[in-house]
Amino acid sequence: MKLFGSGHGACPGCGLPIAVKSVLEGTGPCFVANATGCLEIISSQYGKSAWGVPYIHSVFENSAAVAAGIEAALKALGRKDEGPVVVFAGDGATADIGIGCLSGMFDRGHDILYVCLDNEAYQNTGNQQSGLTPPGSNTTTTPSGKVLPGKIKPKKDMVSIALAHKAVYVATASVAYPRDITRKAKRALEFEGPKYLQIHSVCVTGWGVDGKQAIPVAKLAVETALYPLVEYENGQLVRVKKIKDRKPVEEYLKLQRRFRHLFKHPKGKEVIAELQKIADENAKKYGLDA
């Protein structure tokens, strides 16, 4: 039986199955706790589960705590050798509504790999903004209008938040690089304690990209330095994905409906400049330019 099999209901071009399969390839048989969200809905309908691993979905904001309970039970029952404990949760479940449980999981030092599937909004319910929605994104709760150019504030810095909790392994990845995801999942499990892996995952409907364009778009997020791929071990930055000939952010933005308004909105230029500044700062902070 496949660990994450066929039969899931993801849209063609959706990044989530790529992310999940790539993680499970690295972890092997494991215990999965999943937050309410896209992944849960496409994979866990009663009678149609796509999971070949023990899987639990409780509620929206508690998957880090549910995973902590699984880990504690395995310890108490002497069953830790059955496999690692992995969380899959969306960006909203991670950075917004579930951040209390996540902080508790980090703080108590549970031996868990927490994977945040970052499609940059509440996509399951139709593209409402989350703490990980980038500036300028036109979501249904931060729409662009005559005055406002979409989402105002930058993405919440979950990598720093994880590092501040002394998570033993913290990394970002992208569905454009599945083998990198697998390697990182595998590497993460070499560390005992709480581990955080945030995977940039394309949402074809929410972002407004053609299914065939999903991977090129994801790649551009990395190549513009808007989504830097970084890896920390015990708090130290150990690896980054270097970028040859870093591309301007417009190349990434113009392929997506969620940013289209920026090219004609009165404040669009300002927002694009802000996004370019974020990319430049990422490149500098992590030494991304090859």
Partner 1 sequence: MMKVVRGFYAVAYSVKLCRPDVICAYPITPQSEIVENIAQMYANGELGNCEYITAESEFGAASILVGASATGARTYTATCSQGLILMSEVLWNAAGMRLPIVLTIANRSLSAPLSIWNDHQDSMAMRDAGIIQMYVENNQEVHDMMPQAFKIAENHKVMLPMMVCMDGYKLTHAYEPVDLLNQEMVDEFLPPYDPPVKMTTKDPYTFGSYATPASYMEFRAAVYNAMERSKKIIEDVYKEWAEVSGRNWGGHIVAENCEDADVCVMAMGSLVGLVREVVKELRGEGKKVGFIKIRTFRPFPAEEIAKAVDNCQKIIVFERSLSMGSDAPVTLDVKSAIHKKAIDVYSPVVGLGGRDVPHKLVKSTIEEVIENKAKPGTYFKGLKDYEEVIV
User: Which residues would be at the binding site for partner 1 (CB under 8 A)?
Assistant: 1, 29-31, 33, 40-41, 44-47, 49, 51-59, 61-62, 65-79, 82-83, 100-101, 103-104, 107-108
Q: How far is the CB of 236 from partner 1 (least distance, A)?
A: 27
The residue (of 29 and 211) whose beta carbon lies closer to partner 1 is: 29
The residue (of 116 and 221) whose beta carbon lies closer to partner 1 is: 116
Which of 137, 171, 154 is closest to 260 using CA atoms? 137
The residue (of 80 and 179) whose beta carbon lies closer to partner 1 is: 80
**Pairwise CA distance, residues 164 & 139, whole Å:** 30
The residue (of 97 and 221) whose beta carbon lies closer to partner 1 is: 97
Q: How far is the CB of 85 from partner 1 (least distance, A)?
A: 9
3-state secondary structure of 210: coil
The residue (of 61 and 120) whose beta carbon lies closer to partner 1 is: 61
Q: How far is the CB of 155 from partner 1 (least distance, A)?
A: 24
Tokens 């150990």 sit on residue: 238
Asked if residue 192 lies in contact with residue 210, where contact means CB atoms within 8 angstroms, the answer is no
The residue (of 102 and 209) whose beta carbon lies closer to partner 1 is: 102
Q: Which is it for the CA torsion 205, 211, 214, 216, positive or negative?
A: negative
Residues β-bridged to residue 200: 118, 174
Q: How far is the CB of 103 from partner 1 (least distance, A)?
A: 6
**Pairwise CA distance, residues 268 & 198, whole Å:** 28
Tokens at 205, concatenated: 């409907």
Q: How far is the CB of 242 from partner 1 (least distance, A)?
A: 37
Mode of pairing for the β-strands spanning 236-240 and 230-233: antiparallel
**Pairwise CA distance, residues 57 & 129, whole Å:** 23
Q: How far is the CB of 240 from partner 1 (least distance, A)?
A: 32
**Pairwise CA distance, residues 267 & 97, whole Å:** 30
Burial of 165 (0-12, 13-18, 19+ CB in 10 A): middle
The residue (of 192 and 289) whose beta carbon lies closer to partner 1 is: 192
Q: How far is the CB of 86 from partner 1 (least distance, A)?
A: 12
